[in-house]
Amino acid sequence: MQNIEELKRILSSPKKVVIIPHQKPDADALGSCLSLSAYLKKLHHQVQVLSPTDYPNFLTWMSGNEEVMVFEPSKEKIFQDIIRNSDVIFCLDYSDLARITPLDKWVVQSPAIKIMIDHHIDRIAFTQYELWEPKAAATAELVYDFIQLMGGNDLIDIPIAECIYAGIMTDTGSFKYPSTSSKIHRIIAKLLDIGINHSKIHHQIFDTNSENRLRLIGFALKERLTILREFRTAFFALSSSDLKTHQYQTGDTEGLVNYALSLEGIIFAAILIEDADKIKMSFRSIGDFSANDFAREHFNGGGHKNAAGGRVVNGKLDSVIQQFVSLLPHYKAKLFNSL
Ligand code: 5GP
Ligand code: MN
- Assess whether the C-beta atom of 309 lies below 6 angstroms from ligand 1: yes
Specify whether 161 is located in the same domain as 19. Answer: yes
Which domain CATH number covers 297?
3.10.310.30
- Assess whether the C-beta atom of 284 lies below 6 angstroms from ligand 1: no
What ligand 1 atom has the least distance to the C-alpha of 26?
3
Helix (DSSP H) and strand (DSSP E) numbers for the chain: 14, 12
Domain end residue (candidates: 206, 229, 248): 206
Specify whether 84 is located in the same domain as 195. Answer: yes
Q: What is the pLDDT of residues 135-183, one digit of tens each?
A: 999 999 999 999 999 999 999 999 999 999 999 999 999 999 999 999 9
What ligand 1 atom has the least distance to the C-alpha of 22?
12
pLDDT over 90 (residue 13): yes
Specify whether 183 is located in the same domain as 216. Answer: no
- Counting the structural domains of the chain, the total is 2
Instruction: Please say whether the beta carbons of 33 and 18 come within 8 A.
Output: no
Kindly list the distances between the CA atom of residue 320 and the CA atoms of 121, 150, 232, 313, in Å, as whole numbers in the listed order: 25, 46, 19, 10
Q: Which domain holds residue 49?
A: 4-206
Specify whether 55 is located in the same domain as 123. Answer: yes
Q: What is the pLDDT of residues 197-227, one digit of tens each?
A: 999 999 999 999 999 999 999 999 999 999 9
Specify whether 189 is located in the same domain as 258. Answer: no
Mutate to test the pocket of ligand 1, among 120, 258, 292 (most ligand atoms within 8 A of CB): 120
Specify whether 194 is located in the same domain as 283. Answer: no
How many of the other CB atoms lie within 10 Å of CB of 236?
23
pLDDT over 90 (residue 339): no
Domain end residue (candidates: 206, 230, 257): 206
Q: What is the pLDDT of residues 70-95, one digit of tens each?
A: 999 999 999 999 999 999 999 999 99
- Assess whether the C-beta atom of 96 lies below 6 angstroms from ligand 1: yes
> What percent of the chain lies above the pLDDT cut of 70?
100
Specify whether 130 is located in the same domain as 8. Answer: yes
Specify whether 44 is located in the same domain as 79. Answer: yes
Ligand 2 centroid, distance to 245 Cα (angstroms): 30
- Starting from the CA of residue 118, give the closest ligand: 2
Q: What is the pLDDT of residues 238-252, one digit of tens each?
A: 999 999 999 999 999
Which domain CATH number covers 152?
3.90.1640.10
Specify whether 189 is located in the same domain as 163. Answer: yes
Query: What residues have CB less than 8 Å from 157, skipping those under 6 apart?
Result: 38, 194
Ligand 2 centroid, distance to 225 Cα (angstroms): 26
Domain end residue (candidates: 183, 206, 229): 206
pLDDT over 90 (residue 125): no
What ligand 1 atom has the least distance to the C-alpha of 308?
8
Kindly list the distances between the CA atom of residue 325 and the CA atoms of 14, 140, 230, 232, 320, in Å, as whole numbers in the listed order: 53, 35, 11, 12, 9
Specify whether 189 is located in the same domain as 281. Answer: no
Specify whether 281 is located in the same domain as 315. Answer: yes
Specify whether 19 is located in the same domain as 157. Answer: yes
